[in-house]
Structure 1
Amino acid sequence: MSKAHPIEGLYDLVTGDEDARVCKDIPSASCNDQPRNFFVYLGANLMSKVADELSSAKLILPWLFGYLGAPGLLVGLLVPIREAGVLLPQLAVAAYIRRLPLRKGVWILGSVLSALALALMAVAALTLEGALAGWTIIALLVVFSLARGLCSVSAKDVLGKTVSKSRRGNLMGLSAGVAGLATLALGLYLQFVADAHANILIFVALLLGGALCFLLGALVFRSIREQPGATEGGGNAIATALESIGLLRSDADFRRFVIARSALLSVALAPPFYVLLAQAQSGGDLSGLGLLIIANGIAGSLSAPLWGRLGDRSARLAMALAAALAGAIGLLTWALAASASPLLADPLAFAGLFLVLGIAHAGVRLGRKVYLVDMATSETRAAMVAVSNTVIGVVMLAGGLIGVLGDHYGAASVILALALGALFAALYVMRLREVSEPG
């Protein structure tokens, strides 16, 4: 009997496999390459996650805009543009991607463009100020979001061809967990080392660090061994898009998933309003940002691997539990605010609330990704990802208008509304069909 390759031994240790070549729904030619591809995808995905945290539209960029003196209107545009810009164009983009039997090049292109956009943001932050700086970074954020969309629509397709069902949740959970540790280190630095009123150079360094991570991720992703895939649906983009939209009508399981994912936006939209409450308590200095980043990092590092394991057993249950947790913490936060509880004025206590929200958000994100990949087939996966993301992009833009409610009634009232939405989402998700196959 031949001795196993070291990478297969590590793969066995990480996944718990007794046979590194367990393959359920990937091409047979990819079985031998699965351990290698697992770690290549893990490394590239880790780099992109760290870069996303270094340029976070819900934490880093709002504080940057404050230093630059950008108008408050632009701060409100950051999260909707960051999210919708990734999602909206994907239906058309997917049609062109389907023409390519090998799609890893699309991810590499998206990663390089993301790096370029972040580097130019750093230049703008260093050389401009006020409204001009804000609008310039907003324009670059549009480019950045579109580039991340290229990565998103191609990554799931490549993952579906290179890593088997019941291993994907573990992979994504590991990358999110390690990225959470890197984010925790950043928060500790801002909290305990950096000057609370530090100058713009810290934010320039964060953006350039994110650009470097994207370039490293692109270099790593080049080495993935991808087998050619189906190219049906790679014709006329408009015709293919209309045909793909028809999946909402013809596939009841997919339609219910899209409705569930729309309801789960109640969790995704909540963090900025927690940040608004936190800013009021910290006075906007860098230490307040550090505490929130620490909480976010701990949430990712502690929960993502556990969500990944649960996602492989039941992605539906992972989504439902995470949404219920987000709803519960939202109700608690609203109650503390409504009663003017001194706990809410304690920065550490507030960071604890944000940590629990981060745990819930991580579960929702990982669960819905695993659910979609497991539900789809190799022939429908790219189209389902594109249709789902496009619909969610529209809903996200509409959901961003909830900020108007915050202007009139305060952030706590918005948190209450989103908490109720999250509880509804948890109930609806449990009506979805089970698609996971524990291995």
Structure 2
Amino acid sequence: MAADHHWYANPTLDKAYRTLVDEEDARVCRDISDEACQVVPGNFFLQILSHFFTKLGDAVANPKTVLAWLLSALSAPGFFTALLVPIRESGSLIPQLFIASYVRRLARRQWAFVVGCILQAVAVLAMALIAVGLEGAAAGTALIGALVLFSLARGLCSVASKDVLGKTVPKTRRGQVNGWSASAAGLVTIGVGALLLLGGGSPGETGIYLLLLGGAALLWLLAAAGYGAIREYPGATSGGGNAFTEAVQRLDRLRTDEPFRRFVIARALLLCSALTAPFIIMLAHEQTGGAALVLGLFVIADGLASLVSAPFWGRFADTSSRRVMVVAGAGAGMVGLGLVLLVQALPPLAGSAWLYPLFFFLLAIAHAGVRLGRKTYVVDLAGGDKRTDYVAVSNTVIGVVLLLMGGVGLLTAVIPVSGVILILSGMGIAGAWLSARLPEVT
């Protein structure tokens, strides 16, 4: 067994692990088994590597940037672009309630993650083939189909990764797995955007999408390989009850718990921070002629926003998560409103390549605040055993609302894209107003 452990806990790896977690006694193993404790350094780095590949793949095949731009380039109706974010998010959110009970029956859950990564690679490869073979409504339908598969697989990875992380990495070290992988992926995403920017590319060129999506598929296969190498010891297989049935039973909290009900309504309105993004991309494609260099600017803006905003919102949320929701929600609403007013009032600015990525960057910062604020708020609002109920119920409701909100894309058939952005901006401002009326919980 010692030889079997050699790679996972050799002195060099051990030293790197101690340096990264910034503690003298890095071998304090809280909340994991003794045998898992022997191989923590290798498992720690393999998970950082795997999550880095998946986060980078997510950035390269991002529905809010690359896929939204691709659908515009393939002349797909606006309805399909509006479905991108709802399908990606709710498709991995709602089925988790079913997936969790299945994953908990597995003694070694890393293989659920590996299967999820392979399915995501298949889905993204299908998108690459759609980019070169289809256009119009046919391209939109096929791409949404591939995104459904991608989203379900993402849900499988999400549930499995939390369990594996809990079994293989001690408490007080787990947050750093996601932290380091997200930081590295954010930096590399900026590099991908810079390459797109320098590469330029003629409007409507499909080769760039083949390259991007093919590369993303490879990243998920690399993540699968890395995760497959993790040393996970068999664990308990109990607790595989039907979480969906339990969540439905808990829905009564929406009726009886007024602060929680108001939080869920505010969270639903604040979805505008995620839903506005594809419409800014559509507007940009419409006004700039679809140049690939503009797509490069969007990818850079997305990576940069995730790098610079998290520390600020984190400190702010420690003071008042409710105020973070107010400020970020109002910010998201004002970004959409400001962009539409500028484009309408100053037509010469409408064709500027830098204008849309700048507003997208501001929206991405507001979105990061909305996410962090509402995640912190719901944890602080709930006490004791209510926390699980709150998360299960709010996630289920928001997943359903997201799917319904996908219908907003139908409006592009009767009103301009800028009109849809204004409607979503109004939602954000209403969400901020409602958040201001929530009780303070920090």
TM surpasses 0.5: yes
Which one-letter code corresponds to 1:243 in the other structure? E
TM-fit CA distance, 1:150: 1.0
- Partner residue of 2:246? 243
Give the percent of matched residue pairs that are identical in Structure 1 and Structure 2: 44
Instruction: Mark the structure with the bigger radius of gyration.
Output: 2
Instruction: Give the alignment's TM-score, normalised by structure 2.
Output: 0.79
Instruction: After TM superposition, give the deviation of residue 229 of structure 1 in Å.
Output: 4.8
Q: Where does residue 353 of structure 2 map in the other structure? A: 347
Deviations 1:90-129 (A, max 9, x none): 2122221221233222111111111112222223333344
Pairing 1:55–2:55 present? no
1:393 and 2:399 aligned: yes
| Aligned amino acid, residue 204 of structure 1 | L
- Contact 2:329–2:429 at 8 Å: present in 1 too? no
Unaligned runs of 5+ in 2: 1-8
Alignment coverage as a number of residue pairs: 427
Q: Does the CA contact (< 8 Å) of 1:62 and 1:75 recur in 2?
A: yes
1:46 to 30, 45, 52: 52
SS of 1:408 mapped into structure 2: coil
**Cα 1:213–1:67, aligned 2, differ >3 Å: closer, same or farther?**
same
1:105 alignment partner AA? W
The verdict on how the C-alpha distance between 1:425 and 1:150 changes in structure 2, with shifts beyond 3 A counting, is: farther
- Note the alpha carbon deviations across 1:11-65, whole angstroms, 9 max, x for none: 34434334324566x3354555444433222211111111122222222223323
The counterpart of 1:148, out of the listed 154, 160, 166, is 154
Given the alignment of the two structures, is residue 419 of structure 1 paired with residue 428 of structure 2, yes or no? Answer: yes
Distance 1:323 1:293, change over 3 A: same
Matched, 1:199 2:205: yes
Contact 2:49/2:223 (8 A) holds in 1:
yes
Q: Is the Cα contact below 8 Å between 1:34 and 1:162 reproduced in 2?
A: yes
Secondary structure at the aligned position of 2:107 is classed as coil
Instruction: Report if aligned partners of 1:343, 1:350 keep a CA contact under 8 Å in 2.
Output: no
The question of 1:104 aligning with 2:110 is answered: yes
Q: Aligned ranges for residues 83-98 of structure 1 at < 5 Å?
A: 83-98=89-104
**Cα distance, 1:131–1:342 mapped onto 2, change above 3 Å:** closer
Which of 402, 405, 408 is 2:408 aligned to? 402
The structure-2 alpha-carbon separation of the partners of 1:422 and 1:295, relative to structure 1 and needing over 3 Å to count, comes to farther
Measured in 2, the distance between the counterparts of 1:197 and 1:106 equals 40
Residue 27 (structure 1) aligns with: 32
Letter paired with 1:417:
G
Residues in 1 aligned to 2:280 and 2:309: alpha-carbon distance in whole angstroms: 20
Cα deviation, residue 246, structure 1? 3.2
Q: Calculate the aligned-residue CA RMSD, in Å.
A: 4.0
Pairing of 1:322-401 with structure 2 (within 5 A) = 322-323=328-329, 325-327=331-333, 329-330=335-336, 332-333=338-339, 336-337=342-343, 339-340=345-346, 346-365=352-371, 388-401=394-407
Q: Given the alignment, which residue of 169, 174, 177 partners 1:171? A: 177
Residues 274 and 367 in structure 2, CA contact (< 8 A), matched pair in contact too: yes
- Contact 2:269-2:428 at 8 Å conserved across structures: no
Query: 2-side partners of 1:78 and 1:362: how far apart?
Result: 19
Inter-partner Cα distance in structure 2 for 1:244 and 1:145: 21
- What's the TM-score, normalizing by structure 1? 0.80
SS of alignment partner, residue 347 of structure 1: coil
1:347/1:398 Cα in 2 relative to 1: closer, same or farther (>3 Å)? same
Kept in 1: contact 2:334–2:425 (CA 8 A): no
Q: Which structure 1 segments of 5+ residues have no match?
A: 435-439
Partner of 2:142: 136
Mapped partners of 1:67, 1:280: distance in 2: 10
Q: Are the structure 2 counterparts of residues 133 and 298 from structure 1 closer, same or farther at C-alpha, using a change threshold of 3 Å?
A: same
Question: Aligned to 1:393, what secondary structure does the other structure show?
Answer: helix
Q: 2:379 & 2:235 partners in 1: Cα distance?
A: 15
Question: 1:437: which partner in 2?
Answer: none
SS at 2:354 equivalent: helix
Closer, same or farther: CA 118–58 of 1 in aligned 2, 3 Å? same
